[in-house]
């Protein structure tokens, strides 16, 4: 494994940590998978499904050969992340009229979001290099995940959280794991800029979304979905996008499986943004060359509230490879889809519901055909945002009380 600068192409070994190349370019994990035998790997991965206590019981480290083969096993900090449910709710499928529909519930991860799939790899890498102080800037789930793994690895964590536009639950969860939380008056993007300037002097290992080891770990989401589906992925993978690290990881994961001949066809990716924070979708829809950052992003889906996604170039490349499309959905559409997912018993936080909202929109626009099949990635847990939930329930109570017979309200 090597690290390669996406801008100048310079490579360096993985036994060091820098946030960015001195030229300013982002770093990417480059791993040559061409020498591996896909069929043999399937056998190894199948066998590991029976593990309970070793690192291979993790739904990330089960795929270690494709993620970080060089890392010594005894350096891994894991909570057996991944291993999340893959559901096929029949009622939702029927109401959409689509041939096949799946949900991959990354919300069932130990800290409640898909950030765990990547964070176990980044923190393990940092610990291996001898770091004991970890940091990130976050809209919430990244901090909670980092705080959890840092604590598991007997290290400390420092988390930069914007003063507004984030969920209280996520901050409380982060504090509970023992992180130092630094609230500041600014956006997620300002927090990143601060860390880029000062992390080195402060001796911090930075776990932001551009950390290449997080992206490598998040590839496991699509490996696991493929394995659970007998190595045949649906026609479409529908992913909500904020910083665009997840869509990048899923695209790279598909590329690995395709290169190794482990899947018979390449699924397409549909990336969904919230309308109030959709600079990437706008760029793609306009066929523009450059992304224009949105200085004041605004959406009920706090995990998508990012105006300047750092991974947009990588995301555009994977969308090209996977013949991807993009769309945006309104907050109303997100909440309506969230209610459908919650009532199916699966449940998710608002950002995750953008996937179903986007699928519905793309079906209405005939981009996705009802004869096709789709897999929606549910990124975060139902209890991640109880403020939004209270709002929804309050609204519902008012609507429902119109229908109740006087005196029975309290039973309903
Ligand atoms: C981080 C996050 C997203 C967005 O993922 P990106 O990699 O930033 O595009 C979506 N949903 C939830 C719940 C998240 O925590
Ligand atoms: Zn460079």
Query: What is the C-alpha to C-alpha distance for residues 48 and 360, in angstroms, rounded to an integer?
Result: 36
Residue 312, pLDDT score:
94
**Which ligand is closest to the CA of 25, given by its number?**
2
**Which ligand is closest to the CA of 10, given by its number?**
2
Describe the crossing of helices 312-321 and 279-286 by its angle, rounded to 10 degrees.
50
Q: DSSP readout, 180-219?
A: EEEEESS-HHHHHHHHHHHHHHHTPEE-STT-HHHHHHHT
Task: Among 242, 272, 319, 382, name the best residue to mutate to test ligand 1's pocket (greatest count of ligand atoms within 8 A of Cβ).
Answer: 242
Residue 406, pLDDT score:
56
Residue 17 CA to ligand 2 center (angstroms) comes to: 14
Work out which ligand 1 atom sits closest to the CA atom of 249: 7
Q: How many CA atoms lie within 13 A of 400 on its CB side?
A: 11
pLDDT at 396 over 80: no
Query: What is the C-alpha to C-alpha distance for residues 188 and 194, in angstroms, rounded to an integer?
Result: 10
Any ligand 1 atom below 6 A from CB of 241: yes
Query: What is the C-alpha to C-alpha distance for residues 137 and 116, in angstroms, rounded to an integer?
Result: 16
Any ligand 1 atom below 6 A from CB of 303: yes
Residue 303, pLDDT score:
93
Any ligand 1 atom below 6 A from CB of 245: yes
Q: Is 377 left (phi over 0), alpha (psi -120 to 50) or beta?
A: beta
Q: Are the CB atoms for 278 and 301 separated by under 8 Å?
A: no
For ligand 1, atom 14, the nearest C-alpha belongs to 303
Task: Among 351, 353, 378, 382, name the best residue to mutate to test ligand 1's pocket (greatest count of ligand atoms within 8 A of Cβ).
Answer: 351
pLDDT at 187 over 90: no
Nearest residue to 262 (alpha-carbon basis) of 54, 81, 46: 46
Q: Which of 142-156, 185-199, 297-311 has the lowest mean pLDDT?
A: 185-199
Query: What is the C-alpha to C-alpha distance for residues 323 and 133, in angstroms, rounded to an integer?
Result: 40
Q: Is 407 left (phi over 0), alpha (psi -120 to 50) or beta?
A: left
Query: What is the C-alpha to C-alpha distance for residues 29 and 13, in angstroms, rounded to an integer?
Result: 10
Query: What is the C-alpha to C-alpha distance for residues 129 and 169, in angstroms, rounded to an integer?
Result: 32
Confidence of residue 388 (pLDDT cuts 50, 70, 90): very high
**Which ligand is closest to the CA of 4, given by its number?**
2
Q: Which fold has domain 86-112+214-390?
A: Rossmann fold (3.40.50)
pLDDT at 412 over 60: no
pLDDT at 403 over 90: no
Residue 368, pLDDT score:
98
Residue spans per domain, the chain:
86-112+214-390
Q: What is the pLDDT of residues 224-283, one digit of tens each?
A: 999 999 999 999 999 999 999 999 999 999 999 999 999 999 999 999 999 999 999 999
Confidence of residue 57 (pLDDT cuts 50, 70, 90): very high
Confidence of residue 138 (pLDDT cuts 50, 70, 90): confident
Any ligand 1 atom below 6 A from CB of 244: yes
Work out which ligand 1 atom sits closest to the CA atom of 243: 8
Q: In degrees to the nearest 10, what's the CA dihedral of 390, 396, 402, 407?
A: -50
Three-state DSSP class for residue 130: coil
For ligand 1, atom 8, the nearest C-alpha belongs to 243
Q: What is the pLDDT of residues 351-363, one digit of tens each?
A: 999 999 999 999 9
- Residue ranges in 37-159 assigned as alpha helix (H): 38-48, 64-67, 90-96, 115-128, 141-152
Q: Which residues of 48-82 are buried (b: 16+ CB within 10 A; e: fewer)?
A: beeeeeebbbbbbbbbbebbbeebeeeebbbbbbb
Residue 401, pLDDT score:
55
What's the token pair of residue 401? 């009380």
Residue 400, pLDDT score:
58
User: pLDDT > 70: what percent of the chain?
Assistant: 96
**Which ligand is closest to the CA of 8, given by its number?**
2
Average pLDDT along the chain = 93
Query: What is the C-alpha to C-alpha distance for residues 107 and 379, in angstroms, rounded to an integer?
Result: 5
Query: What is the C-alpha to C-alpha distance for residues 101 and 123, in angstroms, rounded to an integer?
Result: 34
Work out which ligand 1 atom sits closest to the CA atom of 379: 13
Q: Are the CB atoms for 266 and 294 separated by under 8 Å?
A: no
Query: What is the C-alpha to C-alpha distance for residues 412 and 391, in angstroms, rounded to an integer?
Result: 18
Q: What is the pLDDT of residues 26-41, one digit of tens each?
A: 899 998 888 899 999 9
Query: What is the C-alpha to C-alpha distance for residues 381 and 176, in angstroms, rounded to an integer?
Result: 17
Residue 258, pLDDT score:
97
Three-state DSSP class for residue 346: coil
Only one residue has tokens 């696991």, namely 224
Q: What 8-state DSSP symbol labels residue 60?
A: T
Residue 70 CA to ligand 1 center (angstroms) comes to: 28
Residue 407, pLDDT score:
54
Q: Are the CB atoms for 98 and 87 separated by under 8 Å?
A: no
Any ligand 1 atom below 6 A from CB of 378: no
What's the token pair of residue 163? 């003063």
């Amino acid at each position: 494994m090597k690290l390669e600068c996406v801008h100048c192409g310079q490579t360096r070994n993985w036994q060091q940590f820098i946030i960015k190349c001195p030229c300013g370019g982002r770093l990417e994990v480059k791993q040559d998978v061409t020498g591996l035998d896909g069929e043999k790997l399937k056998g190894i991965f199948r066998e590991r499904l029976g593990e309970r206590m070793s690192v291979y019981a993790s739904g990330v480290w089960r795929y270690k050969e494709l993620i970080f083969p060089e890392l010594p096993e005894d350096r891994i900090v894991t909570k057996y992340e991944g291993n999340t449910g893959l559901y096929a709710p029949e009622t939702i499928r029927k109401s959409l009229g689509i041939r096949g529909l799946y949900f991959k519930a990354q919300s069932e991860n130990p800290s409640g979001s898909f950030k765990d799939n990547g964070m176990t790899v980044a923190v393990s890498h940092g610990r291996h290099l001898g770091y004991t102080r970890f940091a990130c800037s976050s809209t919430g789930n990244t901090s909670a995940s980092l705080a959890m793994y840092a604590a598991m690895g007997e290290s400390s964590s420092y988390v930069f959280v914007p003063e507004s536009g984030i969920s209280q639950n996520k901050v409380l969860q982060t504090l509970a794991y023992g992180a130092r939380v630094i609230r500041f008056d600014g956006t997620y993007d300002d927090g990143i800029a601060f860390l880029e300037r000062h992390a080195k002097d402060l001796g911090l290992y930075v776990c932001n979304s551009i950390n290449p080891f997080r992206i490598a770990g998040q590839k496991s989401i699509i490996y696991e979905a493929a394995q659970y589906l007998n190595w045949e992925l649906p026609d479409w993978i529908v992913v909500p996008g904020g910083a665009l690290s997840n869509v990048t990881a899923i695209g790279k994961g598909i590329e690995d499986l395709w290169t190794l001949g482990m899947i018979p066809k390449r699924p397409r990716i549909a990336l969904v943004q919230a309308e109030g924070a959709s600079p990437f979708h706008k760029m793609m829809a306009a066929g523009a060359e450059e992304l224009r950052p949105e200085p004041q992003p605004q959406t009920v889906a706090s995990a998508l509230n990012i105006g300047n996604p750092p991974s947009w170039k990588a995301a555009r490349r994977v969308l090209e490879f996977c013949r991807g499309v993009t769309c945006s959905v309104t907050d109303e559409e997100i909440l309506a889809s969230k209610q459908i997912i919650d009532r199916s018993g699966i449940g998710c936080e608002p950002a995750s519901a953008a996937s179903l909202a986007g699928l519905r929109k793309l079906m209405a626009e005939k981009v996705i055909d009802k004869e096709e099949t789709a897999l929606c990635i549910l990124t975060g847990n139902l209890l991640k945002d109880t403020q939004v939930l209270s709002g929804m329930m309050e609204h519902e109570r008012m609507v429902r009380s119109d229908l109740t017979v006087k005196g029975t309200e309290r039973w309903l």
